[in-house]
Structure 1
Amino acid sequence: MTVDTEALHAELIEWVRSWNEDESTAEVDLDTPLLASGLLDSMGMVAFVSHLEERTGKPFDFSTYMPGPTASIRTLLDHCLGR
């Protein structure tokens, strides 16, 4: 499966905004730390990674990457895509 990363970037940013129902004032871009900024909590991170897996058609390997407070859309997507 080929992934159009430009379109996916915009979609993932929108997904994070939607998860927060636009109630967060934190800026959302590819490098925003999702947990540290409060944009996602642990449940949100699980839902986000699940969405990544669905959209990319690739499994997220938690044995080689454990999302921490500084995980961003870019780092999570790159890991999922094997970059």
Structure 2
Amino acid sequence: MNQLNRHPGRYPDHLYAEVTALVQQTEYLIGPDPFEQEVLQTVSKLTEEGSLKMALFRLHEIIDARLERRTPGSSNMQQQSH
């Protein structure tokens, strides 16, 4: 998240709807734990406030963490097997 926001104004309206839909789909698919639920609420608020880049960054963190936990051979899975 070290790039500047190169879009100085408001994003096109359809992007807000797409990010909102992505948040809802993610919530449905992962069945979030309380921490993830709190982050998803933050993502929704960021989207409403117009901070799409930060919202997508935070959403990516949740998805990435879930994939790390469920990927065979990940460090988390290896620790559990020892």
By relative contact order (CA 8 Å, sep 6+), the higher-ranking structure is 1
| TM-score normalised to structure 2 length | 0.36
